[in-house]
Amino acid sequence: MYIIAHISDLHISYTDENGNGKRLIELLKDIEKRNCDHLIITGDLVENPDARDFHFVKGILAHFDFIESDKLTVIPGNHDIFGGAVKGIEGLYFSTVCKNTDYESNVELFAEIYKGSFPEKLTYPNVKIINNIALIGINSIDKWSEDMNPEGSNGKITEEDYEKLDQIFSSEELKDKYKIVLMHHHLNKEKLRDDMPKHSLWLKVISYKMKLHKRKKFIEYLKKHKVNLVLHGHTHISEVYNIKGVSVVNSSAGAIPLTDEQIRKYNLINVPGLNDEEKIIKIETITL
């Protein structure tokens, strides 16, 4: 059995005034005692795309030996590219900040600092083969636009992404592998939930700036290529769900749960090894 720890949405800054760096250390201590083989972070490692912040997170990960490609996989979230709005009147002009953000430079900065965790080329989508597992990383963050992504937090799978994904999925190296797709954006549609009234209302109200555009098309694409599992973050809730036959894991409440009960959780992905009789991926939810 190969054990993957999946976390997301850490929102760390170098000064650690919000204490999220300490929360990451707590997370990693818990992960360490569970003898995990690999760590996946599905975006929003930092609050703002500052090199000092990225290096601060990298230093914490290195302390726990999660730094090389065989131990760590990261993909960017919207905060890793566009940052987050500040409080007060300056926050009203965050759309202007996003408009003036150099998207490509920030993606390159993210890739350069965490290049040791990349499979080969510092680009997305990419694929990393570990034993009988194919980890397929996607940058789902859309570029800024006034109508489609005014605050930098909406997502999109571009036609260029689809072309690269076609090449990945048609590759012989994926044959007989467990295919796990990593992205930042969620695939379930926002709706009011009786079990989580506060969180679901918050998410539904701000859904205009938290969505993955053409979500249904991408779900059908995942289903067509028989993806075993999708890992994501973005909504600050940890849950396991299935949508149109696609199994999905969200581990974005490990550091900052925006849930009604405010309980921190993340998920462990147990993938059968080559010699294991059991062939089903199992998910274990960990409560901190």
Over residues 16-54, the pLDDT tens digits come to: 999 999 999 999 999 999 999 999 999 999 999 999 999
Instruction: Provide the domain count of the chain.
Output: 1
Encode 76-132 in three state secondary structure: CCHHHHCCCCCCCHHHHHHHHHHHCCCHHHHHHHHHHHCHHHCCCCCCCCEEEEECC
Asked whether 45 and 74 are in contact (CB, 8 A), the reply is yes
Per DSSP, the three-state class of 28 is helix
Q: Find, among 232, 190, 241, 231, the residue nearest to 211 by Cα.
A: 190
Strand order in the sheet with 133-137: 126-130, 133-137, 178-182, 229-232, 246-251, 238-243
Residue 159: partners with Cβ closer than 8 Å, 6 or more residues away: none
**At which residue do the structure tokens 């555009």 appear?**
213
Return the CATH number at 210.
3.60.21.10
What integer pLDDT is reported at residue 89 of this predicted model?
A: 76
Kindly report the pTM of this predicted structure.
0.97
| pLDDT tens figures, 66-83 | 999 999 999 999 999 999
What integer pLDDT is reported at residue 274 of this predicted model?
A: 85
What integer pLDDT is reported at residue 90 of this predicted model?
A: 73
Q: How far apart are CA 219 and CA 36, in angstroms?
A: 29
What single-letter amino acid sits at 155?
A: G
| Sign, CA torsion 35/37/41/45 | positive
Full domain range(s) for residue 29: 2-287
**At which residue do the structure tokens 């054990």 appear?**
3
Q: Find, among 150, 155, 160, 148, the residue nearest to 184 by Cα.
A: 155
pLDDT per residue, tens digit, the chain (288 aa), is 999 999 999 999 999 999 999 999 999 999 999 999 999 999 999 999 999 999 999 999 999 999 999 999 999 999 999 999 887 777 789 999 999 999 999 999 999 999 999 998 889 999 999 999 999 999 999 999 999 999 999 999 999 999 999 999 999 999 999 999 999 999 999 999 998 999 999 999 999 999 999 999 999 999 999 999 999 999 999 999 999 999 999 999 999 999 989 999 999 999 999 888 889 999 999 999
Rounded to whole angstroms, what are the CA distances from 282 to 53, 230, 242, 244, 278? Answer: 34, 13, 14, 19, 10
Asked whether 20 and 13 are in contact (CB, 8 A), the reply is yes
What integer pLDDT is reported at residue 232 of this predicted model?
A: 98
Q: In terms of C-beta density within 10 A (0-12 exposed, 13-18 middle, 19 or more buried), how is residue 159 classed?
A: exposed
